[in-house]
Structure 1
């Protein structure tokens, strides 16, 4: 997505007004893919790009040499592929693989994961199981047991589904992940799922300080800038990387455990969590030592039959699902008094009419609860909730790909 005829403002407004159909929307998935790409060691990214050609950058000329060109490709163009093909007859089986729904889930007062009645649909027909399936395909490819065609499809699904898992409403079983929950956004009728798919992200892009429209400099710029493509969200990625993932940033300490999976203490093997300066960490990243650079630990462990030593979607998804109750992603005010599945008596404040009137906001849809407010959207922005989820998805995607491909020699590796 390159900025050419449309201005950045026009694109952001269009993104905000367009209904988002799937998790994170295209922009969110591309942001996750770009953050992951920034963290990938060079040999791993080169191999990933080799697998994804020729389908990757169809609108752009391929580099003359994957050795001389860095990065050799961009992962962003394929990040939303899994949404674009889900209605094709041959891919309809993938439709339920973008989410997981617990039968007993009833946010914001009861977040069951999965609860006594388990999951909706087949136990293997959800995003948690799907992540394990495509990861196994890539492992088999790395061992020489799968074709490059199998690996290409699995990579495109993995990039997308890792993003899906970090959208809280894709972890919720109520109202089809919020698609059936009508709300208002800036006076317009929409639904809760669409707010989280794209409207919150579009607002954050518009509100990114102007100084991030300029390239980052120094070592930080050397790490980040090569992977940016002139997209409307470039400034947003710069801010997430600089204020969020850099040493001393909002996510610096916690990001060191984002790849951890539950495991008995006796089985834990740690790479340590050294206190790097930003320059040291950046040099380690540029030297392709991903795990040491981020101070991450190994991840043995298993839960729910989906988790293993590298990928633990159940363990990772559980706290994301809790946001539906704890933030809450699902506002209490959406439920008229006594109507919530839990039977709780809730004060709806006439769906926020009094607050809107006091703030001078128009109410073209007075029956709908407005979410573009300081109490909801403002709280999410202040606490960097969306930025944390996007960063977390990117780091985890990079970690999984690095674990699979770091020992594969790209030079001379035969793609069949």
Structure 2
């Protein structure tokens, strides 16, 4: 049985968090850590070593214990330590608030799912998709302030894989009042923290102990309360259910690989095969990072099952979301676990694409850690 202190810490902190909470962002970052080349990790450490942040504020979930003294301790530049930074600086960087989400004009799930075909709400290029492109370019060009660009990128990749950050209906579900296990909350919060906390608490106990033959996994864990959940995701998901999907997850369409967009409003002439991509994919995507291409299937889930029939109507009652029917759909497909894995793998792919040296393994995007 797990200790009462980590349990209480988990429950008390998750209820206060938002935007995947610190937990979701740290899980995405930890999974990414498992895929980084040595040269990539060295470059990241060099960047973060010059960065100033309050480690106690960021590393709020490092309460658990790991029952092994033989596992290499993660370095102080672990990406999870900065994963929640972008949420913590919203107060003094108010301009960054709109970069955590994207709202398609005319989007109103579950009846209507539109993802950029009619454009985006808000100011041009001020959304999470453009933010991922901009921070990636900042790192590629090694501009001053790369430490903040890196921390923003780590966070935005987590945000993009939280489905409620991809729709503008009632501010991403913040305006939809629901109940979760009898408690009044909003639909955004259910996806930000309630579901993930439930899955962490229900992780099978066999994952409490370190995996004896998986150093590439264990070396990147930090003794956090969610370590067992990450082990389950990696073994049952990445090495199991989704093992043949990884390459497609981290790939960008070949049709856009040779198109380099400038920072102006001009668009290149497109061959016929690319006409349907002229808006909006070419505003954000290239061969290194293709956030629109990655986010579109996640957004499609809004019209498939994310919004249950009980809250489909704008004037719905405050209904209970924690039902066997709803949770069974999520558990069967491992929806949330898949989003976290995709976010981590794609983050690693971008960082390896920016920083990996030519002498390392030939994979263009990244490597699968050995179990």
TM-score normalised by structure 1 residue count = 0.73
Q: How does 1:82-121 map to 2 (within 5 A)?
A: 82-88=86-92, 91-116=93-118, 118-121=119-122
Which of 72, 77, 81 is equivalent to 1:73?
Answer: 77
Which of 328, 347, 370 is equivalent to 1:378?
Answer: 328
The alignment covers a number of residue pairs equal to 324
Matching residue of 1:239: 232
Matching residue of 2:20: 24
Residue 189 of structure 1 aligns to a residue whose secondary structure is strand
Deviation of 1:376 after TM superposition, in Å, equals 1.2
Q: Establish whether residue 256 from structure 1 lines up as the match of residue 243 from structure 2.
A: no
- Decide whether aligned partners of structure 1 residues 208 and 188 sit closer, same or farther in structure 2, where only a CA change above 3 A counts: same
Q: Is the 2:257–2:287 contact (alpha carbons within 8 Å) kept by the matching residues of 1?
A: no
Q: How does 1:52-201 map to 2 (within 5 A)?
A: 52-54=48-50, 55=52, 58=55, 71=75, 73-88=77-92, 91-116=93-118, 118-141=119-142, 146-147=143-144, 150-201=145-196
Give structure 1 regions of 4+ aligned residues with deviation exceeding 6 angstroms.
none
Q: Is the 2:109–2:312 contact (alpha carbons within 8 Å) kept by the matching residues of 1?
A: no
Q: Is the 2:164–2:188 contact (alpha carbons within 8 Å) kept by the matching residues of 1?
A: yes
Deviation of 1:13 after TM superposition, in Å, equals 2.8
- Decide whether aligned partners of structure 1 residues 264 and 408 sit closer, same or farther in structure 2, where only a CA change above 3 A counts: closer
Q: Which has the higher contact order (CA 8 A, sep 6+)?
A: 2
Q: Is the 1:111–1:322 contact (alpha carbons within 8 Å) kept by the matching residues of 2?
A: yes
Could you give the per-residue CA deviations for residues 359-408 of structure 1, whole angstroms, max 9, x where no partner exists? xxxxxxxx411111111123212220000000000000000000000138
Q: Distance in 2 between matches of 1:70 and 1:371?
A: 38
Q: Distance in 2 between matches of 1:266 and 1:48?
A: 25
Q: Is the 2:48–2:77 contact (alpha carbons within 8 Å) kept by the matching residues of 1?
A: no
Q: Is the 2:256–2:287 contact (alpha carbons within 8 Å) kept by the matching residues of 1?
A: no
Aligned CA-pair RMSD = 2.6
Q: How does 1:172-321 map to 2 (within 5 A)?
A: 172-218=167-213, 221-246=214-239, 249-264=240-255, 303-321=281-299
Q: Establish whether residue 333 from structure 1 lines up as the match of residue 310 from structure 2.
A: yes
Higher mean C-alpha displacement, 47-56 vs 6-15: 6-15
Question: Could you say which structure has the larger radius of gyration?
Answer: 1
Unaligned stretches of 5+ residues in structure 2: 60-71, 259-276, 360-371
Deviation of 1:304 after TM superposition, in Å, equals 3.1
Q: Is the 2:133–2:284 contact (alpha carbons within 8 Å) kept by the matching residues of 1?
A: yes
Residue 249 of structure 2 aligns to a residue whose secondary structure is coil
Q: Distance in 2 between matches of 1:47 and 1:260?
A: 23
